[in-house]
Amino acid sequence: MKNEKHALNGIKVVEWSLAITGPWVGKCLGDHGAEVIKIESTVNQDVTRLSVPYAGGIAHPDRSATFLRFNTSKRSITLNLKTDEGKAILEELIAWADVFFNNQRPGAMKRLGLSYERIRKINPSIIAMDISNYGQTGPYSEAGGWGNMTMAMGGHTFLTRDRDMVPTAPGWLATADVIGPMNALVAVLAALDYRRRTGNGMYLDVSQLEALVHFLGVGLLDYSANGRVQQPIGNHDPEYAPHGAYPCRGDDQWCAIAVTSENEWQNLCRCMGDPLWAKEARFGNMASRKIHEDELDRRIGEWTRSFEKRELMEWLQSKGIPAGAVQNIADVLEEDPQVKAHDLYPRIEHPVMGECYHGGWPFLLSKTPTRMSTCPCLGADNDYVLNDILGVGDERFVELMTEGILE
């Protein structure tokens, strides 16, 4: 770690954010070398600090493994922004920063007296970013919301299901909370380069909703061109068959198989031992297989049942057939050769939680690897931020502490 170059070394970031979408942006910038200061409060804590699961089952802001997911490689300072002195410290940090972003509910920045006009007065070349569910303007803006709502409004929930099911989304998370920060990262990284080239900072208003709607480009054009309202197709494909998840040996074990050409189909037939049913005319070409895909799925499902999912995947892949074991969390964290080869879940020591999984990035940069440190305990860096960065001096530091500004 010592002599490595990190891509974003030297970039100074201040985030006033909570939950998932905002913090994830700061994590990425920090993991790649930027200095990221997270503004927190002991009274008004980031909701994920108060979320299960807690390490050791003990509810404590420094023990939330959910908070850990989104807050690596940052410094934490607690500031009471309801006090003038707390706001003054925040303004000093804005003057210091290259990037200042938040994902508070729209309107919160103005109530704090920190409109973009004001921020730009403090720091004319800053990149200031608001991140929200639907953007800072428009009829839905003020209500704010959660990722499950944006997934619903962005069409992802409607489309994620089989033909006859009720709309389903993954019950354990909202993917909008993953997509939103990626959109914000694209914005801020493009802005950093733009500023390097032109000297100009800018204001960015990034929403989850716009990003999610872009995922549906094909369906939206189909609606515009043909008036058709795209319907869910589950694991199937508009053209290819077989295309599904098939049961394997054991409880809740499955393997996905997706045949995209005649050649792959022939190979699959050979693997199945060229059964008679596969020679029937109705399975003779892609279009006909597509029409009879329910029957096709049933037949293939009978065959896959006797295999172990990973064995089946690796065997079919060796014959050039796209196939993949349906991995659960345990498989991914403990057995997945790619996760291991790419060190996607490094185990890092946290001062309270001990050594545990930290999440990396799904791209490897050949010259500038990531440098991840664990998430900060609440207010752990008050001293560093106030003294080393802002140089407030001992007297003021003691004053800030005793007057409740650092709460």
Partner 1 sequence: MLSGYRVIDLTDEKGAFCTKMMGDLGADVVKIEKPGGDPLRKRPPFFGDTPDPEKSLPWHALHNGKRGITMDIEREKGAKIMRRLVASADFLVSSLPAPEVRGKGLVYDDLSDINKRIVVTSITPFGLTGSWSDYRAGDLVVMATGGMMSMTGDPDGPPLRLNPDHAYYIASYKALVGTLIANYYRGISGEGQHVDSSIHDSVVREFYYPVPVYEFEGYVPKRVGDKGVRAGKIFRQRFRCKDGYVTWFFHGGRVGSSTNIAISQWADEESIPDTVNVTDWTKFDVWRASQEDLDAVMDRFATLIAKFSKKEIRDELVKRKIRAAVIDDIEDIAGNPQLQSKDFWVSLDHPRMERPLLYPGDLFYSSETKVRIRRRAPMIGEHNDEIYRNELGMTDEDMTELTKEGVI
Q: Are 211 and 180 in contact (CB under 8 A)?
A: yes
Considering only residues 154 to 193 of the shown chain, the ones binding partner 1 according to CB under 8 A are: 154-162, 165-173, 175, 177-179, 182-187, 189-193
CB of 284 to partner 1, least distance (A): 20
> 91: which residues sit within 8 A by CB, 6+ positions away?
122
Binding footprint of partner 1, residue count (CB under 8 A): 157
Shorter beta-carbon distance to partner 1: residue 215 or 384 = 215
Which range, of 78-86, 96-104, 213-221, 386-394, touches partner 1 by CB under 8 A? Answer: 213-221
Query: Least distance in Å: CB of 5 to partner 1?
Result: 8
Given the complex with partner 1, which of 1 and 52 has the nearer CB atom?
A: 52
**Residues whose CB falls within 8 Å of the CB of residue 244, separated by 6 or more in sequence, listed in order:** 234, 235, 236, 256, 257, 258, 293, 297, 300
From the list 118, 48, 132, 43, the residue with the least C-alpha distance to 80 is 43
Least separation in angstroms between CB 109 and partner 1: 15
Judge contact between 138 and 210, C-beta under 8 A: no
Closest to partner 1 by CB, 162 or 280: 162
Output the smallest distance, CB 97 to partner 1, in A: 16
Binding mask 129-158 for partner 1 (x = CB under 8 A): -----xx-xxxxxxxxxx-xxxxxxxxxxx
Phi, psi of 114 (to 5 degrees): -115, 65
Q: Which residues contact 27 (CB under 8 A, 6 or more apart)?
A: 36, 70, 71, 72, 73, 74
Nearer to partner 1 (CB atom), residue 203 or residue 384:
203
User: By CB under 8 A, what part of segment 351-370 binds partner 1?
Assistant: 356-357, 359-368
391: alpha, beta or left? (left if phi > 0; alpha if psi -120 to 50): left
Given the DSSP bridges, would you call strands 243-247 and 254-258 parallel, antiparallel or unpaired? antiparallel
The closest alpha carbon to 268, from 294, 239, 243, belongs to 243
Nearer of residues 221 and 398 to partner 1, judged by Cβ: 221
Question: 40 has which bridge partners?
Answer: 78
By CB under 8 A, the residues from 54 to 113 that bind partner 1 are 54-57, 65-66, 68-70
| CB 393 to partner 1: min, Å | 33
Nearest CB to partner 1, comparing residues 58 and 281: 58
Scanning the structure block, which residue is given the tokens 């070349």?
Answer: 125
Q: What distances in angstroms separate CA 371 from CA 27, 251, 358, one per listed residue?
A: 11, 39, 12
On whether the CB atoms of residues 249 and 298 are closer than 8 A, the answer is no
351 vs 391 by CB, closer to partner 1: 351
Q: Please, which of residues 9-48 interact with partner 1 by CB under 8 A?
A: 10, 20, 28, 32, 47
What residues numbered 263-302 form the site for partner 1, per CB under 8 A?
Answer: none
| Residue ranges in 297-356 that form contacts with partner 1 under rule CB under 8 A | 313, 317, 320-333, 336-342, 344-345, 356
- What residues between 214 and 243 interact with partner 1 by CB under 8 A? 214-226, 228-230, 232-235, 237-239, 243
Smallest gap, in angstroms, from Cβ of residue 402 to partner 1?
Answer: 27
C-beta closer to partner 1: residue 50 or 272: 50
Residues paired with 207 in a beta bridge: 132
Rule CB under 8 A: say whether 7 interacts with partner 1: yes
Name which position in 16, 96, 101, 254 contacts partner 1 (CB under 8 A): 254
As a whole number of angstroms, the distance between CA 151 and CA 149 comes to 5
Q: For residue 399, what are the CA distances in angstroms to 86, 94, 113?
A: 12, 21, 24
